[in-house]
Structure 1
């Protein structure tokens, strides 16, 4: 479907939370908040080989990742959907280390309890190569339909989120 816009590439490179969706045996989505890494057009998700998302991806190797920003008047999101490859061994450990370095402080990684404890829990990586990208921004919607008034003065139009 759509290509990843340049703003979307920069957005995915920022440190944000995301949601990964895999497919349960009954065909329903299994959606979980995650940390991720975007590199070379792929989305990487560290997980345990005992997790439901791993079992789903191994049995039905397709997934979606949604990354969004929810500030009223400045909302935007990017979603990528595509085939999943399971990464194991040394390659997985390297990707897991990169994901952890992206979200954890050096003190957390070096702490004898925290760093090794988190690394031990993530022994595989879901590598998602999106065939389909979707994206949306409140700013584009605002320009198209409202002449820019919503994003210029969001406090006038939107309630604060809790």
Structure 2
């Protein structure tokens, strides 16, 4: 077995890892061909990385030209703790309230430094009102992965 195979996460480990983390580094391709890299708070929507961003953001403009995005979710400080996943694929951009509102509520809590609710329907209505006001100028970006690479260096111990 190769070292690469030895540290790869199982599907269940990957799902749990992505569900536990909150920040994702996303890379899109700019008009000039250079990568545009930013960190975003995210949640999982139907098991896929989803985040909100302004409709007119650079990343949305990039994705409208070229819908391919790479996401990196990583954790750990010391080498034997490093865990992560790189996911590449096409994106869906939507402002559908059926998606925008629940994703926005979870991510909005993260943005304002609060623990997100397990179920967006259980969130404090006063907080939800403010978050939904923020969502008026935002869209949700959802990654449809076509390639996933994962690693967990703790498996080497």
Give TM class, smaller chain.
Answer: 0.7 to 0.9
2:104–2:132 Cα contact (<8 Å) kept: no
- Tell me the residue number matched to 1:100: 108
- Tell me the residue number matched to 2:142: 127
Q: 1:89 aligns with which of 70, 73, 96?
A: 96
Q: Normalising by structure 2, what TM-score?
A: 0.74
Q: Distance in 1 between matches of 2:30 and 2:10?
A: 27
1:66-99 deviation per Cα after TM superposition (whole angstroms, max 9, x unaligned): 1100221311101111011111131323321232
Matches within 5 A, 1:64-79: 64-72=70-78, 73-79=80-86
1:80–1:134 Cα contact (<8 Å) kept: yes
1:3–1:133 Cα contact (<8 Å) kept: no
1:3–1:132 Cα contact (<8 Å) kept: no
Aligned with 2:33: secondary structure?
coil
Matches within 5 A, 1:141-152: 143=156, 148=157
Q: Distance in 2 between matches of 1:128 and 1:111?
A: 27
- Tell me the residue number matched to 2:3: none
**How far is 1:23 from its partner?**
1.0
Segments of structure 1 that go 5 or more residues without pairing to the other structure are: 149-162
Structure whose CA Rg is larger: 1
- Tell me the residue number matched to 2:31: 25
Segments of structure 2 that go 5 or more residues without pairing to the other structure are: 1-7, 117-122
Q: Normalising by structure 1, what TM-score?
A: 0.72
* The structure with more strand, counted as a fraction of residues: 2
